[in-house]
Structure 1
Amino acid sequence: MNSSKPSIHLKILCIALCCCLLTFKVFAQDFKFNNGRKAQTIPFDFVKGLIIIPLYFNDKGPFDFILDTGVNPMIVTDPTLKESLKVPYPRAIKISGYGNFEGIDAFLGATSVKIGESDAENIPTVFLKDDILPISGFLGKKIYGLIGYNFFNSFIVKVDYTNKTLKFSSHAKKIKLKGEKISFELIENKPYVNVNIDQEGIGNQVVKALVDCGASHSISLEALNGKAFPQPKFTMEANLGNGLTGRVKGRMGRINSLKIGNFKFNEVLSNYPEYNIDSIGNKGRNANLGAEILSRFNTIYDYQNRCMYIKKNERFGRPFEHDMSGIELYSESGPPSRTIVNKIEPESPADLAGLKENDEITAINFKKIDDYSLDDIGAMFKAKNGYSVIVEVWRNKAFHIKLLKLKKRI
């Protein structure tokens, strides 16, 4: 995985709403076509394994949102959007994050939303009061929030990672459902599937996993039999994500295999977040299945019939690799834009090369940093064990050249 990806491994937003679900049922609405359409296909941006689509609110936009099966209700992470939309009578609420007990201030309101030629009125929407999740900086693209259940429940949705397109069809339209059928259970309007894993020390296990296309990891193994999920012998300390309470700490390892339906993957990277019964143990799940697995299939989601259809694509056979540099990058919007070293992992190649937090990267391999996206840099930093990368940084009003030798650490 790439250099900036650790910040979104566990989940870009580790969130559980503490407000009354009955409120949502009062004004929750589905999306629908109002112009005689029965289906539409739109392109999406694919950044760090995540699906980004444009939304319009009250005829304003577009605003880029992450399409996320692990989210209900819709969440606006950019606090300026609430003011610009002039949402009427938002209700102050508290939401809890990963390990957070005091709660985070937010507002609950309702908005009219348009995606493509479909729209919905009075969509329940949570607006974070403060910008506590700098998603845009870690993706290198302005992101305003996340949308999930209301859209997926309204249509049969095909995510085509091959062509980077999203096709959504009304349930009245007859369509051919291609791929292997995987049944899921909807819990709090989020899909859960059974996944088979084989791991050193515990052998074969069937785990209940949240299907979470808004998380960029492969799988996060959280709990087993009411306790922290056992770990293999070799793991390494890692930053597994940024949640409402800051960094999610834990370790990273590998499992021997993961099987979903009849599809099997070997030597899969796995996350082991620090166990907290209030954040994990009471959710009745074992794991979180993320985009590093899901993006290897072109997938059709049929929430109404509680199933998904998966068909492997050209990404299926790629090896599971972790970042080999030890750098987490953050993009500051400009002008001018800046690419900043947000974190250096101790004893990593970046640490040994003398790179430091808050260094501004100005060039890589003698090519200006503006010529790269964060995805490009991430791919380079996990390219090959032993590969050398020349990094130019700006520090203390001077340029410094560092030779970074990549190393496979797990």
Structure 2
Amino acid sequence: MRFSKLILAIYCLLWTCSVFSQDSKFYIQGNASSDKIDFQLINNLIILPVVVNDVELSFILDSGVTKPILFNILDGFEVLNKQSQETIFLKGLGEGEVVEAVKSENNIMQIGDAIKFNQTIFAVYNTGLDYSPKLGIPIHGIIGYDLFKDFVVEINYSRKHIKLTKHDSYKKKLCNKCEKHDLRFYNNKPYLNAVVTIEEKEIPINVLIDTGASDALWLFEDESKDIVSTDNYFEDFLGYGLSGSLYGKRSKVDVLAIGSYEFSESLVAFPVGASIETLKRIKDRNGTIGAEILKRFHVIFDYKNSHVIFRKNASFNKDFNYNKSGIDLEHNGFRVVKDYYYTLDNGRLQFNTDVTEHITNIPSSENYRLNVKPAFEVVKIRENSPAKKIGIELGDIILEVNGKDVKDHTLQEVIEIFSGKDGKKIRLLIERQQKIFEYTFRLKDMLN
């Protein structure tokens, strides 16, 4: 199980997610022909600053969605235009049913210097879909097709910025080290051809190319096409979709090839569930290529001319890793710690944050200050995993990893530690029901 392989692709199956021709387009303000916007890359996902009706928010850039979706966090619906709203229902990935949503039109959305004055946004509620604790920072929504269709969109994963360029200003000369691949569109989502090798059989596949899916590759099992998992797999939690949790098999393919680019021993997930059965019937679709692959390229999407351009970056040959501990963490609330102080020669007090004590109640001593730090809570544990076998429980709060307080780590950094090499020793200090426990185990590669 790998928390950083969070599945964020949402596949709206109702007519309400189609494109409305009356929507205006994004355009770049001023005389510039392009604009660069910095982003955060968390768990392989692109987090962009987005302004909706003068409210600053954070959205995931997701080529697997049509209309922007706003999540129900921080009572955020007041940011939408209330003069043009209606209630609709959406169905997406996951084991749940349809979810209720609000469709709001005539919203102003701005990304960098790009702005749109008539944006339709879907706000979902009455659902547990909240990616903020899963990613460790506030996440308010996702945006995809509406931005990709109006510009040539370059994603520089290495330097963590996107570049939006007007179509009529884009230089079309292909660099010597680049490859251009045709895109096909179904429900305004981009598909391309690739090839996988499974047990020495080369199999052509038609896959969605999805910046909002943080796994490397998803395949839908189909014996008639020899797309099946080998015996080398384990059952795993794959992530979250609009309609709930996603589960399946995690395994490897011998080779994944996109044109001349080849990835040996690529990780693959074979998702299961009713929502996946529905997706299998979409335009002979065989699966998804996600951001664990895409982040190894400089990627240029040109929806208008129906192609995508790839150029390898420095991450191309990096190993494929997953969470070998079996622990899924979320940022769930906060915990209180004590930072002790000492007196400098000039009589001033200095707090030593390197000497921190984890507390379960408030003592009476006065030689410290109370400090609030994120609480990283165990929310899922994979069966037969090292963490499960050693006694880690749901609800445990991780305090230290290998002797270092997690207050010095982001959530993603902790997950990356859990994705280390097979056999790596992990020491955890955890809090459970106001008691402190220490556990030691070794990471285990279930696919070795």
TM-score range for the pair, normalised by the shorter chain length: over 0.9
Aligned sequence identity (%): 29
Structure 1 distance, partners of 2:95, 2:118, is 29
Deviation at 1:34, TM superposition (A): 2.4
Q: What TM-score do the two structures reach when normalised by structure 2?
A: 0.85
Query: Match for 2:397: what amino acid?
Result: E
Query: Match for 1:212: what amino acid?
Result: D
Structure 1 segments unaligned to the other structure (5+ residues): none
Deviation at 1:28, TM superposition (A): 2.3
Query: Match for 1:92: what amino acid?
Result: T
> What per-residue deviation string (whole Å, max 9, x for no partner) do you get for residues 85-136 of structure 1?
3432311111112366852101111221001011012112111023421211
Deviation at 1:353, TM superposition (A): 2.1
Q: What TM-score do the two structures reach when normalised by structure 1?
A: 0.93
Deviation at 1:275, TM superposition (A): 5.0
Q: Say which SS state the counterpart of residue 16 (structure 1) adopts.
A: coil
Counterpart in 1 of 2:109?
A: 113
Residue among 14, 24, 39 paired with 1:44: 39
Structure 1 distance, partners of 2:95, 2:225, is 19
- The 3 A distance-change label for structure 1 pair 99 and 338 is closer
Deviation at 1:42, TM superposition (A): 1.7
Query: Match for 1:372: what amino acid?
Result: H
Q: Is 216-225 or 364-373 further displaced after alignment?
A: 216-225
Counterpart in 2 of 1:198?
A: 197
- Judge conservation of contact 2:94–2:244 (CA < 8 Å) in 1: no
Q: What number of residue pairs does the alignment pair up?
A: 403
- Judge conservation of contact 1:29–1:150 (CA < 8 Å) in 2: no
Structure 1 distance, partners of 2:100, 2:206, is 31
> What per-residue deviation string (whole Å, max 9, x for no partner) do you get for residues 18-48 of structure 1?
13466x4243222101211111112110001
Counterpart in 2 of 1:386?
A: 423
Counterpart in 2 of 1:320?
A: 320
Structure 2 distance, partners of 1:362, 1:302, is 46
- The 3 A distance-change label for structure 1 pair 272 and 232 is same
Structure 2 distance, partners of 1:119, 1:226, is 47
Deviation at 1:305, TM superposition (A): 0.4
Structure 2 segments unaligned to the other structure (5+ residues): 335-371
**Bigger radius of gyration:** 2
Structure 1 distance, partners of 2:421, 2:263, is 21
- Judge conservation of contact 2:373–2:407 (CA < 8 Å) in 1: no
Counterpart in 2 of 1:235?
A: 233
Counterpart in 2 of 1:12?
A: 8
- The 3 A distance-change label for structure 1 pair 294 and 279 is same
Counterpart in 2 of 1:78?
A: 72
Counterpart in 1 of 2:445?
A: 408
- Judge conservation of contact 2:10–2:65 (CA < 8 Å) in 1: no
- Judge conservation of contact 2:327–2:381 (CA < 8 Å) in 1: yes
- The 3 A distance-change label for structure 1 pair 385 and 349 is same
Residue among 150, 154, 172 paired with 1:154: 150
Query: Match for 1:326: what amino acid?
Result: G
Structure 2 distance, partners of 1:64, 1:146, is 8
Counterpart in 1 of 2:59?
A: 65
- Judge conservation of contact 1:235–1:252 (CA < 8 Å) in 2: yes
Q: Say which SS state the counterpart of residue 48 (structure 2) adopts.
A: strand
- Judge conservation of contact 1:300–1:309 (CA < 8 Å) in 2: yes
Residue among 211, 216, 219 paired with 1:218: 216
Structure 2 distance, partners of 1:21, 1:388, is 47
Structure 1 distance, partners of 2:136, 2:304, is 35
Deviation at 1:14, TM superposition (A): 3.3
- Judge conservation of contact 2:26–2:150 (CA < 8 Å) in 1: yes
Answering whether residue 217 of structure 2 is matched by residue 180 of structure 1, we say no
Structure 1 distance, partners of 2:98, 2:13, is 10
- The 3 A distance-change label for structure 1 pair 82 and 27 is farther
Answering whether residue 243 of structure 2 is matched by residue 262 of structure 1, we say no
Counterpart in 2 of 1:27?
A: 22
- Judge conservation of contact 1:228–1:274 (CA < 8 Å) in 2: no
- Judge conservation of contact 1:222–1:275 (CA < 8 Å) in 2: no
Over the aligned positions, Cα root-mean-square deviation in angstroms equals 2.0
Counterpart in 2 of 1:54?
A: 49
